[in-house]
Structure 1
Amino acid sequence: MSHEHSAGDPHATPDAAARRFVPTTPYHPRLTGMTACGNGSLDDSLDPTQWQGAVGRRNQIRHEPGNIFAEFEEGLFPGAPGVLDGHPHQAHVTSGTADPLVGISQTAPGSTGAVRLGNSRNWPDAELSCEVLSKTFIVPLDQPFLSFWYAVVQHGGPDNHNGGSQAYFRVRVTDAQGVLIPGAFSFGNGLGALTNSGYPDDTLVANPKHPLFQSAESGTSDPYLYKDWSCAQIDLSTHLGQQVTVEFITADCAHTGHFSYAYIDNICGTCAGSPSGSFRYACEASDHCGAGKICFDYSLPSKVDKQGLSVTGEVSIQLQLIQNGVTVLTLSSGLLIRGERHCFAIDPAQLTGLNPALGGFDIRATASFSMGQVPLGTMVTGTPHEGVTAGRNNDYRLRCPSCDEIARNQAEQLRRRCATKRKHLARVSCHCPPGVASGCGCGGGCSESHGGAAESADLATPALAGVAKAVDCDCQGHCDCKAVTWPSIKPCLSVAWADSDCDGLEGNDVEVMCISVCNCHSNLGFSNLVIQQIQVTDAHGRPVAMLPDGTPSIQVVPSGPLCFGDIGPCRGKDQPSCVTRELAVSLRGAAAGSYRLTFSGICFDVVHHVQDEQCFVLPVCKD
C-alpha cells in the first residue's frame, strides 16, 4: 500500500506525518498458548492470554512478507488515560449500547460482548493511526475453518482517495514465517471491482455503491459509510497442524483525514443468519454411495433498501470431486437466486475421470456470494486433501456395500481392536459362592478356584495357565478341537478389556469390553446365538449400590439382547471360530471390590454337521 501523501487532500497534515513513532516494545506475533477459538465469544472481556495487540502509524507498516508491524507498539490498549495517546485502540464493548456515530449494535446478533478495533479519531489528533488485534495458534486438525462476525464504520469513500490511500479494515492471515497464505481470506474484492483500486481481497474499504454499505450524516462533506454485522470465514485447511497468525487490522487513511474502526465478535461461531450469506454441507440430506445426491444448504445475501423493500443476492456453488488429494472433476450449480438447498446429482457410472480402483472420492465445495454482480466473498466446506471426512477417498463411495460386506468389515474391525486387549476377566460360577470358580465354562459345574476370589488377570499367569491346561479349552484361542460328547454342548465366552497392562477398572470409569463367543467343536455349529441379558451384581449376586439419583453405581450398556448370529465349527487346534461384540461398563462412585458380571439367557441352536453336509450346491440361474 502507498504511504505517500497527496498535496491535494485538504485533510493532509505533512508535519504530523513526518514525525516517526518509535515503539518501546515492538510487536512480534508469538505462539503463547493461544487457541483458535479461545475467548472467541468475547462476551465478558478481551483476554490478553488469547489475543495480542499493537498500535502504530500506517506509514510505518513494512512491506510483505514477514512481520510488517515490527515498528508498532505491542499491547492491548482499551483507552486508559496516559497509555500512549489515551484513545481506545482495542476496547471491549457490550450489548445494549448502539454505535454513537451510525446507530448499529456494538455486538453481533445474540452476543453480549465484542471488541472494537480502532476509533473515530483520525491522525494526527489520535497520533497513532493503525491498530492490530491478532491470534497466533496451531490450526486444529478437526477445525480447518474459522468464522467470525464483523461490522465496519469508516469516514470518507473512494472519491477523495487515490493510490490505495483510503482508510481500511483488513484480515491478514500468515504462516509461521509471516508469509501470506494464498486464498485464506477474501472479502470478495467487490470494492476493487467497483473502483478498480487494486485493494487486495483481504482488505475492505468503504464504497457507497457497495450493496451492503450504508451512509450516515457526519456533519462534513464526507458521510460516514458503514457495513452492519455479517459473518465471514477464514480457510486454514492448507495448514492443519501448523502455526498461523490471524491479524485484524484497522487503518486511518494515509492522508490523516479519515478514520476506520471495526467491531469483531463470535470467533468460531455459526454464520447462520448472516446478511452476506451462509453455507454448509447438508450431510443428513445427502447420499454417501452409489447413485445419489450431494446437498448443500445456503442462505442468500439480503438487505432492506431505502424504500424498505427486501433485496436478495445470489450464490453459485462449485463442487470439487477429489481422489488422493487431487481434484479430478468440478461440478457447478450455476447461479442460484432463490431457495435454501441445492443438491448435485451423483451417478459414479456417468462421472468421467474418477479412478474406480480407489473406491470413492472426497468433496470440497465453495460458495461464492454476490449481490447486483458485486462479489461478497466465499465460504468453503471440506479440505483440499481429505474433503469433509478424515481419511482419503471416503466422503462418497462409488458403490454401496452390501449387508454381508458391512458385516465382514465390522467383524474385521472388531477382530483388530479386540486383539490388542491386554487382560481377561477370570471365570466365576453363576451359582456358587465367592471363592469357587468354574473351569473353562465349556463343561459346566463348580470346581475349587486356584486363585481365590475372581479377579481380572492376564491368562499368562501360572494360576490361570494351570486352569487352561486342565480343561479342553480356555476360550481365548487354545483348544483341542475334538468331537463333542452329546448333549453337553456350550459355547465358550470370554471377556477381554484393558488397552495396556497399566489399565485398571476404577470407581469412576468407562471401559469398553470385548465379549467373544467361541466354538471349540469341530463337528457342530451354533446358530442364532443371542445373549438375552447382561447384569452386574456384587460378588454375592446382590444388586450394586445405588447413587443418590436412583441409578446403579455400575451399569452395563447394552444390557441385552446381544446378537452373535451363527458361529461355525473350529478350524483346527488353537483355531476356534469366534464372534465378538463390544459393550461398555460405566462406573460412577462404585465401591472397590469384586463384582459379578452375569450373562443370562445364552440361547442358540446347535447345528450338527457330518462331512458330506459341509458341501453345498450353489444354483446359478441363466441371465
Structure 2
Amino acid sequence: MKTTTQFMLAVLLLITSITTGQIYKDTIIEVKERKLNYEYNVRWSKDRLAKEIEIFKQDQFKPTLKSSDQITSLLNQIPLSPDPCRNGGFEDDYASWTGLSLKHSIEVLPIENGLILNPGIASLPFTGLSSGQNYTSIESTGLDPIISVASPSYPLQRTAPGTLGTKSLRLGNDQPGLGAEGVAKRFVVTAENAKYYFKYAIVMDKSHSDVGGVVNGSEVFFMAEAVDMSGITIDKVIDIANPTNPFINAVNNGSKYYRDWRCAYLDLSSKIGEEVVVMFINSDCARGAHKGYTYIDDVCKECKGTEGFIELELEGDGCINEKNTYAGNFDIPKGAVNPSISLDIYKSNSVVATNITPTIVSGTYTFDVPATTFPNQTAGTCYDLVAKLTFQLPDLNGNLQTVTQYSSNPVGGVQDGEISGINNDVCFCDNSQGAYCCEAENLVDNANFEAGNTGFTSDYSQTATTFPGEYNVTNTAANFGTTVTDHSFCADPVTYASNNKYLLVNGKTQQATSSTVWEQTLTGLEKGKTYKVCANFKNMPQCTFDILPEVTLEAGSSNTMFTVNMNPLDACAWQNETINFTATSNTETIKIILNETANGDGNDLAIDDIYVGELADPNLAITVEHDGLTKDIKGSLNSSGTTDDTLHGSCTEYHWYVAEITSYPSIVIDWNTFAHGNNTGSNLPPSASVPTATNWDLTTTFPGYTFSDNKMYIIGMYTPACECYDSGFTYQLTFNAKSDKKSGLTDSQQQAIIDAILNGLTPNKESISTEQRASVYPNPIEKNTVIRLQNDKIKSIKVMNITGGTIIDKKYGEDKNAEDLNFSKFANGIYIITTQGISGKTYTKKIIKQ
C-alpha cells in the first residue's frame, strides 16, 4: 500500500507540477488576438489570479531587454571596469560586478529576446526568496541542496571542480514566477581576454518545450552574452531546459533537470581595443510555473571542456605548401559513440572544401592536406581552417543526439577560423624563396618559377606538350623521358620543401641563328653599381646524336657563353653559371639565349632559380699597429691578430699595399716606395733590402719592406669582387716615428698639448677641429657602444658581422649626431659599423665585442 501511494504521488507531481506545495495549471490568455499560455497557482484567490494575469498582459507590451533604447540605456549605466578578470571567482563576493534585475514574461524565439527590464540595473545582492523575485547568493564549497539528495542523487558541486577558490555565484532562487536575474561587467577587450572563459552549472525544472523537445521560447534557460556598447551581440552561450540536450540529466522522475559544470567562453577577438559588456543571466520559465538557478565560477580562467573538445594547432608561417600537415588534440565524453573528425576549409565564412581522413592516435589527430585541396591556389589567396569533432550521445528521450564541437567556435553563427578575422589562417604565399647564389634581395620576378608561366617573355611558345620551339613551366620532365628535381629542393629539401617547378625548353636545331628562351627587363637599378647574375641549367638525355645545349647568359652589355653538360640521369645535377655587369642606366635586360645552329637531337634544357642582385659591400676593415720602439708596422685583417683573419664568404683573394706619403691631407704617394703583396708573394720597391719577395699574410709585418723613421705611410688592402661581394678598398695613414726628439712638433706645440690635457681646450684654441669624423666608445665592448659624428648628423647605420651578415639596419629622420647601439644579444666577435651622414659622407668603424 505504501509503495502504491508513493507511485501515485510521483504521477501527481509529474502531471500537476507541484512545487513546494504549489499546484499550477495552464490557462489560455488572449492579448491582442494572440493566445498565450499562462500557468497559475490553483491556490490563488480570484483577485490574486486576476491581478497576476493583468501584470502578465502588461508585460507583453513592455520593450524587451534587447530593444535598442533599453539595452543602450542599461549598458551605459554599468561602470567601466579597469580589470576584466577582477573577482572572476567571486572570492570578493560581488566586487566589480553589476546586478541585472530582469523578468522572463514574453514567449518568443530567440529565447533571450523574451527578457524585459525589472527594472534593470539594481544593487547586489538580490535577496528575494518568493515567487517572481530576483535572488543571488555567494556560495561556498559543498554540494547542491537539491540534486545531491535527489533520486537518483548526484554530487553536484556548488563551486567549480578544480577551482583554486572556495566561492561561486548563484543566480536565482528555487521559486517560479517569471523571475530572471544576472550580473554584468563592462571592460575594454585585450588580446589576453579575447576568449572570455567561464564555468557554469544549472539546476532547473523540466519546462514546456514542444513535442520532441523542440524549443519554443518559454523554457527555463541560462545565457552568457557579450554585446558591444550599442547592444549588438558579439557572442553568446544559451543553455535551455529541454530533453533533447544530451548533456541534461534528469532526477526525481524527470521533474528536475541539471547540467554539471561546463567550461565555455565568449569569443571577443573581433572587438580588441573596444568596450564590451558581458552578461550572465539565469531565467525562469516564461509561462510562470517552472524555475531554475545557475552557478557561475572561474570567470577569465582558461579551461578545457569535459563534454568533448577539439583543438587545432596552426604552426609555421601560415603559408600553404605542396604538402601540409594540420594536427591537434581532442577528447570525447564518457558514453559518446560514433566519433568523427573533419577539417573544414573556409573562404569568406563558407566551407569550400572538407578533409575527412585524419590519422588518429591516442587523443591526437593529423590531416595531410595537399595544396590542390584548396580551390584557388593563386599566390595571395587565403583561407580559414576549422577542425570539427562530432559524436553522438543519448538524450532524456533515449534518442541519439549529434554533438558538434569546433576548434574555433562560431560567433553569432559565423565561423571565421582559428585566427580572428576572415580569410587569414593560411595563405598561398608569394613563394619567391629559393637556393639562389646570393642571399641579398633578388630582383628577378618569379625567379624560381613557382608562380608558373609569368614574369618573363620568350621567343618560344608555351605548351604542355613541349615540342621543339616550345617551353613549359612544370614539375615533371616526363615528356623528355627523364626525371628532373627542382634545384632548390635538391639543395635543401627541408627549407624548400614546397619548391617543385622549373622551366623546360625543347630547343630547335638546324636553324640559322639563336633564340632567346627567357628574358626579363629589370628596373630600379642604380647606374654605376655592379650586379651579379646567376642561373642554374640542366641538359636532357637523347637516344642518338645528342646535342648539348650551348647557352649565352646576357646581362646588359655583358655576356658569357657556356655548354650545359651535366649527368642527364642525375635528377639533381644542375650547372650554375654566373656573370657580373655594371648598370649603365636604371633599366637593364637579362637574357638566356640558346644556340640553334647545330645538327642532331637534343638541345633541350631545364632552367631554375635565376638571380640578379647588387653585389654586397664587403665592409673591408684592417688594423694597423705601429711599434714606436722598433719602427715595425703590423697590418691585420679586421682586428689585430690572426683569430679573425677571414674574408667575406669563402673568398680568398686580397692585396696589401704600402707606400710613403709625401703630402697630407692632400695625399700624394711616392710611387718609388710603392709595394703590394698577398699570400702568394709580394712586389717590393727597387730599394727593398730583401732581394726576394716574401708572402704577406692576412696578418703581416710586410717582410722585405723597410719603414723609415719620421715618415708617413699609407697602408691598405684591396679585395677584388668575389662571389656575392663587390670589390673592397680600405687604408690607414700611419706616421712612423722612433726619434726621441719628437720630430715634427715644436716646443710650443708640445706645451699646448700639455696645457690642453691639464686645462682643456679653450674656444679660441686653433686646434679645435671642424673636420667631419666619427668615433665609437667604448671599444672593445661588453654590451653597448655609442657612435658619435662630429660636425655631421646620422642618416643611417648598418652593422654587419665578420661574415657579411647584416644584424642592424636603421634609418633616422630626426636630427641626431649620436646613437647608442646594444650588442647584448649578439655573439662575441668583430663587427663593422657603417654610418651614413646627412652630408653624404660614409664612416666605417670596427668594434670588438668580448
The TM-score, its normalising length taken from structure 2, stands at 0.42
- The residue number in structure 2 matching 1:132 is 182
- Give the alignment partner of residue 308 of structure 2, picking from 274, 277, 282: 277
- The residue number in structure 2 matching 1:101 is 146
- The residue number in structure 2 matching 1:617 is none
- The residue number in structure 2 matching 1:561 is 828
Cα deviation for residue 110 of structure 1 reads 1.2
Q: Do structure 1's residue 374 and structure 2's residue 641 form an aligned pair? A: no
The whole-number CA distance in structure 1 between the counterparts of 2:310 and 2:439 is 36
The whole-number CA distance in structure 2 between the counterparts of 1:449 and 1:107 is 82
CA shift digits 1:447-493 (9 cap, x unpaired): 999999xxxxxxxxx9xxx99953655589xxxxxxxxxxxxxxxx9
Cα deviation for residue 239 of structure 1 reads 3.6
The whole-number CA distance in structure 2 between the counterparts of 1:234 and 1:48 is 21
- The residue number in structure 2 matching 1:89 is 135
Aligned partner of residue 4 in structure 1, secondary structure: strand
- The residue number in structure 2 matching 1:115 is 169
The whole-number CA distance in structure 2 between the counterparts of 1:406 and 1:37 is 51
Q: Is the 8 A contact 2:99 2:125 kept in 1?
A: no
Q: Is the 8 A contact 1:362 1:395 kept in 2?
A: yes
Q: Is the 8 A contact 2:179 2:284 kept in 1?
A: yes
- The residue number in structure 2 matching 1:206 is 241
- The residue number in structure 2 matching 1:352 is 375
- Give the alignment partner of residue 300 of structure 2, picking from 239, 249, 268: 268
Q: Is the 8 A contact 2:800 2:806 kept in 1?
A: no
Q: Is the 8 A contact 2:172 2:294 kept in 1?
A: yes
Q: Is the 8 A contact 1:366 1:381 kept in 2?
A: no
Q: Is the 8 A contact 2:184 2:280 kept in 1?
A: yes
Q: How many residues align?
A: 437
Cα deviation for residue 257 of structure 1 reads 1.9
Cα deviation for residue 352 of structure 1 reads 2.8
Q: Which structure: greater strand fraction?
A: 2
Structure-to-structure mapping, 1:296-307, within 5 angstroms: 296-303=327-334
Q: Do structure 1's residue 171 and structure 2's residue 224 form an aligned pair? A: yes
Q: Is the 8 A contact 1:364 1:381 kept in 2?
A: no
Q: Is the 8 A contact 1:387 1:395 kept in 2?
A: no
- The residue number in structure 2 matching 1:41 is 88
The whole-number CA distance in structure 2 between the counterparts of 1:342 and 1:68 is 43
Task: Report the residue type matching 2:364 in the other structure.
Answer: R
Cα deviation for residue 101 of structure 1 reads 1.0
- Give the alignment partner of residue 331 of structure 1, picking from 350, 354, 367: 354
Cα deviation for residue 154 of structure 1 reads 0.6
Q: Is the 8 A contact 1:290 1:400 kept in 2?
A: no
Aligned partner of residue 105 in structure 2, secondary structure: helix
Structure-to-structure mapping, 1:539-558, within 5 angstroms: 557-558=824-825
Task: Report the residue type matching 2:232 in the other structure.
Answer: V
- The residue number in structure 1 matching 2:771 is 470
Unaligned runs of 5+ in 1: 186-201, 304-309, 410-440, 453-461, 477-492, 498-513, 520-525, 532-554, 581-597, 602-623
- Give the alignment partner of residue 258 of structure 2, picking from 206, 218, 226: 226
CA shift digits 1:383-433 (9 cap, x unpaired): 978963899858556348458899768xxxxxxxxxxxxxxxxxxxxxxxx
Q: Do structure 1's residue 56 and structure 2's residue 108 form an aligned pair? A: no
Cα deviation for residue 168 of structure 1 reads 1.5
Cα deviation for residue 226 of structure 1 reads 0.6
Unaligned runs of 5+ in 2: 1-33, 63-69, 149-155, 394-400, 442-730, 736-752, 778-783, 789-795, 808-821
- Give the alignment partner of residue 152 of structure 1, picking from 190, 202, 226: 202
The verdict on how the C-alpha distance between 1:267 and 1:295 changes in structure 2, with shifts beyond 3 A counting, is farther
The TM-score, its normalising length taken from structure 1, stands at 0.54
CA shift digits 1:487-530 (9 cap, x unpaired): xxxxxx96479xxxxxxxxxxxxxxxx985479xxxxxx65699
Q: Is the 8 A contact 1:156 1:224 kept in 2?
A: yes
Cα deviation for residue 44 of structure 1 reads 1.1
The whole-number CA distance in structure 2 between the counterparts of 1:270 and 1:449 is 71
Aligned partner of residue 293 in structure 1, secondary structure: strand
The verdict on how the C-alpha distance between 1:227 and 1:19 changes in structure 2, with shifts beyond 3 A counting, is same
Task: Report the residue type matching 2:171 in the other structure.
Answer: L
Cα deviation for residue 4 of structure 1 reads 3.3
Aligned partner of residue 53 in structure 1, secondary structure: strand
- The residue number in structure 1 matching 2:339 is 314
Structure-to-structure mapping, 1:164-563, within 5 angstroms: 164-181=217-234, 184-185=235-236, 202-217=237-252, 223-272=255-304, 274-283=305-314, 290-303=321-334, 310-311=335-336, 314=339, 316-320=341-345, 329-333=352-356, 339-348=362-371, 351-356=374-379, 358=380, 361=382, 363-365=384-386, 367=388, 369-372=390-393, 373-375=401-403, 378-380=406-408, 388=419, 395=426, 398=429, 399=431, 401=433, 469-470=770-771, 473=774, 495=786, 516-517=798-799, 527=803, 557-558=824-825, 560-561=827-828
The verdict on how the C-alpha distance between 1:599 and 1:567 changes in structure 2, with shifts beyond 3 A counting, is closer
CA shift digits 1:108-163 (9 cap, x unpaired): 2211232111121222xxxx611122233333356543232221111124479984
The whole-number CA distance in structure 2 between the counterparts of 1:55 and 1:211 is 30
Q: Is the 8 A contact 1:78 1:88 kept in 2?
A: no
Larger RCO, structure (CA 8 Å, separation 6 or more):
1
**Structure of higher CA gyration radius:** 2
- Give the alignment partner of residue 121 of structure 2, picking from 66, 74, 77: 74
The whole-number CA distance in structure 2 between the counterparts of 1:243 and 1:46 is 24
Q: Is the 8 A contact 2:774 2:787 kept in 1?
A: no
